[in-house]
Chains A and B, each alone.
Chain A
Amino acid sequence: MNSDKNTNAGDIIQDVTSGDYKYGFVSDIDTEIIPVGLSEDVVRLISAKKHEPQWLLEFRLKAYRHWLTLTPPTWGHLKMPAIDFQAISYYAAPVKKEGPKSLDEVDPDILHTFDRLGIPLEEQKQLSGMAVDAVMDSVSVKTTHKEALAEKGIIFCSISEAVRDYPDLVKKYLGSVVSYKDNFYAALNSAVFSDGSFVYIPKGVRCPMELSTYFRINASGTGQFERTLIVADDDSYVSYLEGCTAPMRDENQLHAAIVEIVVEDRAEVKYSTVQNWYAGDREGRGGVYNLVTKRGLCRGDYSKLSWTQVETGSAITWKYPSCVLAGRGSTGEFYSVAVTRNYQQADTGTKMIHLAPDTRSTIVSKGISAGRSENSYRGLVKVTPAADRARNYTQCDSLLLGSHCGAHTFPYVDVMNPTATVEHEATTSKISEDQMFYCAQRGIPAEEAVGLIVNGYAKEVMNKLPMEFAVEAQRLLSLTLEGSIG
């Protein structure tokens, strides 16, 4: 008679797309957490804990005072409960254990945590072509390969160290791309940011290895507010990657980061993100609110900034990595794969602001929605009157896995120069039962088939990731959509 295993392809996809999170463990590490709540005193306390100079405290206080005048943005296609900003602790740091230890020594429990995440912090264990800054909760716990990079004049360290050791550089660039006035979460971050990475590539230097920051939330009841600043001086090149995970908790945790990038004449920055914050459970309980402002300024002529993101985690994602193309002939790129499943919501995209002649931008966005999730692309292409012969190409595809999820596209195009060329293509598709059956007939199990099909769909973007991470990201994309088949 009819076999029980002959479930229909829709059910299989449903099962396959609601699998479990592999990074949800909590590490038992002594952590100092300041009391919940936000006030000027808290801002002062954070600054004092980090032994910051007066100018930075003032920067924070200005941001805080401005933040008080703002309300959270509501224009995203997101259902977000009101966040009680007084219920969050704004600083959590692993406590250094007592004893005679060298400055560089890291708590073995922390090393173990990063080992479990597949990010060994001992340099000899790492991929040879990669340096890592590991950030747990509010502080950077270790940056590897610093000395090797320093030989070429490259600065790669936590932003706290940069404030101490390179105050002039930080002062010059901090807030120059994303002002604290930019938006609600940018103001909040500017007031309370804890740690993050700082990168400076000097003139004419091609960074010999991938730089990478791995963000880990561990403590509960806290938020993470990191800040990354990358400066690529004339004729330099750097490829940078960030990864992130968090434990599984019933509460929602807030992650409000800022990434600022400055690209000078003929320099190139490639910024890749594999975002895998905890996304909440199958019923939508818990998960990280990922509310991030990322922007790069292509200030130099013929400079280039390329964003690649693979977004698989977070209960809510609200981020628009953008390029301000101010240098003549500068290029901005945005390649994105955003996966939502269960009750995840993502409103993500980019802004390409063409300010100068002969600027070019490319946007390739691949949304994948499953379960009861909502996945929106929101993008702005703006061509100002000065941007003669500006070109933009946008491709915006949505893949639906199942019939209870949503895919939405909100493209904004604002062209004020008649010589500009702006193209937009969009498609929506589903994994068909025919494709699933074809794979099954060839012996490929359903979860693997979904993984193959989804990776095939996202290939154009995955190909943009640095080699070392492409394999990992492909695996993640398959794992994210994997689960037990009932």
Chain B
Amino acid sequence: MSEQLLLKVRGLRAEIDGKEILNGIDLDIRPGEVHAIMGPNGSGKSTFSAVLAGNPAYKVTGGTVEFHGKNLLELSPEDRSHEGLFLSFQYPVEIPGVSMVNFMRAAVNAKRKYFNEPALSAGDFLKLMRRKRAIVELDNKLASRSVNEGFSGGEKKRNEIFQMAVLEPRLSILDETDSGLDIDALRVVAGGVNQLKTADNSTIVITHYQRLLDYIRPDFVHVLYKGRIVRTGGPELALELEEKGYDWLKQL
């Protein structure tokens, strides 16, 4: 425990439209760790990721979140991003007419501005794009297309990991990145995530299924149920869930 925590969540509660979804979450994540959060539909997995990222549709009603020592809940969504929090969306939204190149340039330069760095030149930016594209085998054409417009399910998810590669976050939250992926796309996406892994950055993998965890090995597995973490274990917990399903939770 000597190492500083990257993320420290204490008693986090949140609601949407007056309905409480998160019911007091505690979670510690250290640099370099991979945490899987599993649980049945409606247990609050996606809400947890949305609240961490600062989605204004959710209201935080209690608890604290520290992100490398900063009070995360006081930061705007864009500042959370600049500080190194990245959310890979379950359903990436389409933005017609806005090319991926322009979109990512706006994102990269907004972050540089936040850290008082000059904007990247067009040449340097395109070099960066090319380098990062290779990680998820995203072709050039995709990068010049409008953000997620007309992308297949697999392309959208690869595009999310591509953005993650460009922004180099400290904490990546992968919200059901495996949903809607065939096995080949899953391999590419997971391969990208693993390539981006370092001793300093951390990952939260939100998933229903053990399948993704065959590719992205978690250090910890948490079971979320009714807005709380009800069990925590190692990778073997995911296998147990695969075997037993989630019905046993109802007896808790």
> Hey, which bits of chain A sit against chain B, CB under 8 A?
1-3, 5-9, 432-435, 437-446, 448-449, 452-453, 455-460
Contact = CB atoms under 8 A, between A and B. Distances in A.
B24 interface: no
B95 A435 contact: yes
10 contacts: A1-B60, A3-B76, A5-B75, A438-B89, A441-B86, A445-B78, A452-B106, A456-B97, A456-B98, A459-B97
Interface string B60-96: 1110000000000111111011100011010011011
A13 B159 CA distance: 27
Given A432-B93, A440-B77, A456-B95, 17 more contacts: A1-B60, A2-B60, A3-B74, A3-B75, A5-B75, A6-B77, A440-B54, A441-B53, A441-B54, A441-B77, A442-B104, A443-B107, A443-B111, A443-B167, A453-B95, A456-B97, A460-B97
B98 A438 contact: no
Given A444-B106, A452-B103, A435 B114 contact: no
Contact of B78 (A435, A443, A455): A443
3 interchain residue pairs of minimum CB distance: A456-B97, A456-B98, A443-B81
Contact of A443 (B55, B60, B102, B114): B114
B128 interface: no
Contacts of A8: 56-57
Contacts of A432: 93
Contacts of A7: 56
B110 interface: yes
A62 to B, nearest CB: 48
A435 B149 CA distance: 12
B192 to A, nearest CB: 17
Contacts of A460: 97
Given A3-B54, A9-B56, A452-B102, A441 B96 contact: no
B59 interface: yes
A239 to B, nearest CB: 24
B201 interface: no
A457 B76 CA distance: 26
Interface residues of B, number: 38
Given A1-B60, A3-B75, A441-B87, A456 B96 contact: yes
Interface string B121-135: 000000000000000
A151 B80 CA distance: 60
Nearest to A438: B93
Nearest to B81: A443
A425 B60 CA distance: 43
A448 B110 contact: yes
B204 to A, nearest CB: 14
B189 to A, nearest CB: 18
A442 B75 contact: no
A442 B76 contact: no
Contacts, number: 102
Contacts of B59: 2
B22 to A, nearest CB: 13
Contacts of B57: 8, 433, 437
A85 B229 CA distance: 74
A456 B167 CA distance: 22
A439 B55 CA distance: 11
Contacts of B106: 439, 442, 444, 448-449, 452
Contacts of A441: 53-54, 77-78, 80-81, 86-87, 89
B77 A437 contact: yes
A454 B98 CA distance: 9
Nearest to B104: A442
B125 to A, nearest CB: 15
A459 to B, nearest CB: 4
Nearest to A432: B93
B146 interface: yes
Nearest to A449: B106
B60 A434 contact: no
A462 B111 CA distance: 27
A434 B110 contact: no
Contact of B110 (A1, A443, A456, A458): A443
A3 B65 CA distance: 12
Contacts of B102: 452
A435 B62 CA distance: 27
Contacts of B80: 441
Given A456-B96, A457-B96, A457-B97, A6 B56 contact: yes
A2 B61 contact: yes
A452 B95 contact: yes
Interface-centre pick from B60, B87, B89, B106 (highest chain A CB count, 10 A):
B106
Given A443-B167, A445-B78, A456-B146, A1 B56 contact: no
Given A2-B61, A2-B73, A455-B98, A440 B89 contact: no
A1 B60 CA distance: 6
Contacts of B77: 6, 437, 440-441
A437 B55 contact: yes
Contacts of B96: 456-457
Contact of B98 (A1, A440, A452): A452
A433 B54 CA distance: 13
Nearest to B82: A443
B203 interface: no
A438 B81 CA distance: 11
A444 B110 contact: yes
Nearest to A463: B97
A8 B17 CA distance: 13
B163 interface: yes
A440 B103 contact: no
B93 A442 contact: no
Interface-centre pick from A9, A449, A455 (highest chain B CB count, 10 A):
A449
B110 A3 contact: no
